[in-house]
């Protein structure tokens, strides 16, 4: 028992091992609860259920942040909450792209949770790799924070300039690559990601990807692309690998639960990108100051992020108050695969 306690008290990436064990246990428990209990029987998730589940995930994240605050001090707690909010803010844009992917591929709401759930497993793995690389670079080359900051400023300005452009899935490089390199069925085959079907030339039974698998692959790649923006943004708040990683994962878990409520009224948030662009530029300038010894207090960063995000949400809802809710499936701008 003493050896076990000593092992758990040891450090991993600058944080006691028992913090990592507690975090992994919580995440596994949430995933089992989600798939094994809440969604054991597949059903269409409505906005009300989505909001309730999101509220549950937020409470878990707040409780975890409070534990970090109590165990590691107020600064660590503030950094967790700020990183959590920044990741949630920036990843909202990702949710709208995911809705566009589902609409283009004709994925019904019944199977969208299946794609998002298995996508979370990829997020957990890919974010660990990306954050690990980022932490190693920051540790070895502190000047790389200047590069992170400049990249975030550039991305924010680019997002602001292109906020009115609609993504064209037919011209999407990821979709074109998959369509060229893999055999893809034109129709869904229930909840299956792959099916066995005759080859059109040889007649032999071969494996085909279904649109559900294409959606999963595209969601994973899109999340990885968006992570290139959001992960450096959290490094502007803290270089603590544990805080960066845990705040990222809790934010993504909650936002995936909120997806169905956002997707049901995606047209109501069309002005949100402006606030996200401002947040990116603000964080970019903040991270550029770190190598020169200037540190913007975490509490100020948290307050500004909350204010900018809230302004974007409320302005969007106010400007579109007379418009009906339009989901990804109903948006006439979205195409679908040929039948």
Q: Please indicate, yes or no, if residue 335 is contained in any of the structural domains.
A: no
Phi, psi of 72 (to 5 degrees): -120, 0
88 has pLDDT over 80 = yes
Q: Please indicate, yes or no, if residue 337 is contained in any of the structural domains.
A: no
Q: Please indicate, yes or no, if residue 336 is contained in any of the structural domains.
A: no
Polymer length of the chain: 339
Q: Please indicate, yes or no, if residue 339 is contained in any of the structural domains.
A: no
280's tokens = 């990116």
The dihedral of CA 210, 165, 313, 311: what is its sign? positive
Q: Please indicate, yes or no, if residue 331 is contained in any of the structural domains.
A: no
3 state DSSP class of 127 = helix
In whole angstroms, what is the distance from residue 130 CA to residue 141 CA? 16
2 has pLDDT over 80 = no
Strands 15-16 and 11-12: antiparallel
Q: Strand runs (DSSP E) across 147-266, as ranges? A: 194-198, 205-209
- Domain extent for 223: 1-320
Nearest to 174 by CA among 216, 209, 218, 208: 218
pLDDT at 333: 42
Q: Which residue has the tokens 């040889």?
A: 202
pLDDT at 28: 92
pLDDT at 249: 93
Number of domains, the chain: 1
Q: To 5 degrees, how large is the angle CA 297–CA 301–CA 307?
A: 145
User: What is the band of 10 on the pLDDT scale with cuts at 50, 70, 90?
Assistant: low
278's tokens = 């401002």
Considering the entire predicted model, what is its pTM? 0.82
Q: Which residue has the tokens 């059903």?
A: 43
Q: Please indicate, yes or no, if residue 338 is contained in any of the structural domains.
A: no
What's the gap between Cα 314 and its chain centre? 22
- pLDDT tens-digit profile of 127-152? 888 888 888 887 787 778 888 888 88
Q: Please indicate, yes or no, if residue 328 is contained in any of the structural domains.
A: no
Q: Please indicate, yes or no, if residue 120 is contained in any of the structural domains.
A: yes
């Amino acid at each position: 028992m003493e050896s076990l306690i000593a092992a758990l008290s040891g450090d991993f990436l600058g944080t006691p091992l028992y913090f990592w064990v507690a975090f992994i246990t919580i995440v596994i428990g949430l995933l089992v609860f989600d798939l094994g209990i809440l969604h054991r029987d597949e059903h269409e998730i409505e906005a009300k259920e989505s909001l309730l589940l999101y509220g549950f995930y937020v409470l878990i994240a707040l409780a975890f942040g409070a534990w970090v605050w109590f165990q590691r001090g107020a600064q660590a707690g503030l950094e967790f909450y700020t990183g959590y909010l920044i990741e949630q803010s920036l990843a909202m844009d990702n949710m709208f792209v995911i809705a566009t992917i589902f609409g283009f591929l004709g994925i019904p709401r019944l199977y969208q949770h299946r794609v998002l759930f298995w996508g979370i497993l990829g997020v957990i793995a890919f974010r660990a790799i990306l954050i690990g690389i980022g932490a190693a670079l920051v540790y070895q080359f502190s000047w790389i924070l200047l590069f992170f900051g400049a990249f975030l400023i550039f991305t924010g300005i680019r997002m602001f300039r292109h906020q009115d452009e609609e993504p064209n899935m037919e011209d999407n490089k990821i979709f074109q690559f998959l369509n060229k390199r893999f055999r893809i069925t034109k129709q869904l085959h229930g909840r299956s990601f792959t099916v066995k079907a005759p080859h059109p030339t040889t007649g032999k039974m071969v494996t085909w990807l279904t649109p559900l698998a294409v959606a999963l692959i595209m969601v994973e790649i899109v999340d990885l692309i968006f992570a290139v923006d959001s992960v450096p943004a959290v490094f502007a708040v803290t270089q603590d690998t544990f805080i960066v990683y845990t705040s990222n994962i809790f934010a993504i878990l909650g936002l995936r639960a909120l997806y169905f409520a956002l997707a049901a009224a995606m047209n109501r948030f069309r002005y949100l990108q402006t606030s996200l662009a401002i947040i990116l530029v603000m964080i970019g300038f903040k991270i550029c100051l770190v190598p020169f010894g200037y540190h913007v207090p975490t509490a100020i960063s948290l307050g500004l992020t909350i204010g900018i995000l809230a302004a974007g949400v409320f302005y969007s809802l106010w400007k579109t108050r007379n418009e009906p809710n339009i989901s990804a499936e109903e948006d006439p701008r979205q195409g679908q695969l040929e039948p």
